[in-house]
Structure 1
Amino acid sequence: MSTAPTPRAESAQTPQSPEHSGRPAGVAYADRGSSHYDILAMIMCAVVILSGIGAAKGVFFGTIPGIGFDIITDGGFFLFPLAYIVGDIITELYGVRAARRAIIMGFVVNILAAICYQVIIALPPFPDDYGLAKQEAIEMALGPVWIVVLAGLVGFAAGQSVNSLIMSRMKRRAGERGLIGRLFSASGAGELVDTILFCTIAAAAIGITGVGDWAEYTVLGFVYKVAVQYAVIPITAAVIRFLKRVDPTYQAALAAAS
């Protein structure tokens, strides 16, 4: 006879009751086996794979007049903030261990994708002019992706770890309160670590060689990613609150923690 998953309630660091300490008696997390975790993890994996492909292309939007600042980024710039938004949702609902599991899943599928690209490149093409031209194009497009994947793995691992750690520790202190503050604090720190590592490793694959171009690429990437995450924090918070309400394991854990 099957049994329902047991909700988790992590005990707080202080034995005092919330009435005397002003802090929550426990921290609630939904069970990973509930219906939304697999969907969120799947979205994160898809975004990580697509970002790795897109980031192999350098993008130049022009130069800001007057200050000479080149607007340099990569083809995955519009996708990657979504991975952090999904990571915030997973951490808040399911905890840092569940977030770490989703990150590892993203690593595995991204490495598998990079291996598949190299196999596709190694396969013999049609010997006609069209086949050879397509082979050359595929080599140029997918050949450097493994470097971008490596950069993404290093940056995403470090950045998401910082992001999840801040989210979980702030939740331990505040319980259900302070969600907006957690999202603001974690997003900025995680994106800073991620952007510096990613841009440093991936720069050569994208075509960035000078220190000045690297600095412009890194600064713009960080500002853009944080700006996007901050702009959608009200939406992220609304999604988190909705999922908390509709997830019975979270509600059970919340009742047990109170």
Structure 2
Amino acid sequence: MDSNSGPAATTANALAGTHFRYFDFVMAAFVAILLLSNVIGAGKVASVGGFMFGAGILFFPLSYVIGDVLTEVYGYARARRCIWAGFGALSFMALMSWVVVSLPPAKGWDGQSAYEAVFGQVPRIVFASIVAFWAGEFVNSFVLARMKVMTAGRMLWARTIGSTIFGQGVDSLIFYPLAFLGVWETHQVFVVLATNWALKVGWEAALTPVTYVAVGWLKRREGVDVFDEGTEFTPFRTRV
């Protein structure tokens, strides 16, 4: 694509099989943030000013920001490919964590308890996290792509925030009941669900200027403005 001219509006189907110079880097960033926010952030409960929260909430919403960028710049089909890459990476991370923690420690090595504390995972929570991510990201991408066509590419802020409201809503509605219903008191599950959903949406809104900069820069460099007109929105494929 010619990066010296402005982005040209085109349909996603017209770009099937096209190579974009920055797509691979954006996909790598998406998967990296997804994995690191689950590995490093998920296991710690932080407290700032007396307010307690899971540390992962600071960075996990960035995967939704990048998901918005992917759909806005490259279209639903390429965002779908990244979601499946993230799903596979999360699944492998869960398997690897289970295998590594389960291996008997060598005599004299005293790091097993630390490994269990950091990487030991409750299967129910892992399953809930992966399913919620998959469903939430696809809803997020679908809503943004459809809103882009409906608004003729205007009001990016409305698309990014609106898609996050629905995507994070589905994510939270799946994850918290699936992971904690019957373990926590019912009202606590839904209070935490609503609180974390609001925080994630608020974080997305706060990052809107960053999204504008990233989207504008990538569209100029790639030379296209992709609209998902006539796109097949099934999540069950990876071909672009």
TM-score normalised to structure 2 length: 0.79
Q: 1:90 to 1:50 in 2, by over 3 A?
A: same
For the pair shown, which has the larger CA radius of gyration, 1 or 2?
1
SS at match of 2:20: coil
Aligned length: 221
* Overall identity of the aligned pairs, in %: 29
Query: C-alpha displacement at 1:226, in angstroms?
Result: 0.6
Conserved 8 A contact 1:8-1:28: no
* Aligned position for 1:138: 115
Query: C-alpha displacement at 1:123, in angstroms?
Result: 2.5
* Aligned position for 1:41: 27
Can you give the 5+ residue segments of structure 1 that lack an aligned partner in the other structure? 12-26, 65-70
Conserved 8 A contact 1:161-1:190: yes
In the alignment, structure 1 residue 78 sits paired with structure 2 residue 58 = yes
Taking the aligned partners of 1:32 and 1:102, their CA distance within structure 2 comes to 16
Conserved 8 A contact 1:52-1:148: no
TM-score normalised to structure 1 length: 0.74
Q: Mean alpha-carbon deviation: is it higher for 209-218 or for 190-199?
A: 209-218
Conserved 8 A contact 1:48-1:83: yes
Taking the aligned partners of 2:58 and 2:115, their CA distance within structure 1 comes to 23
Alignment of 1:1-258 (within 5 A): 9-10=10-11, 33-54=19-40, 56-57=42-43, 59=45, 61=47, 71-128=51-108, 131=109, 133-144=110-121, 146-203=123-180, 209-248=184-223, 250=224
SS at match of 1:61: strand
Query: C-alpha displacement at 1:29, in angstroms?
Result: 6.8
Query: C-alpha displacement at 1:169, in angstroms?
Result: 0.9
Query: C-alpha displacement at 1:86, in angstroms?
Result: 0.1
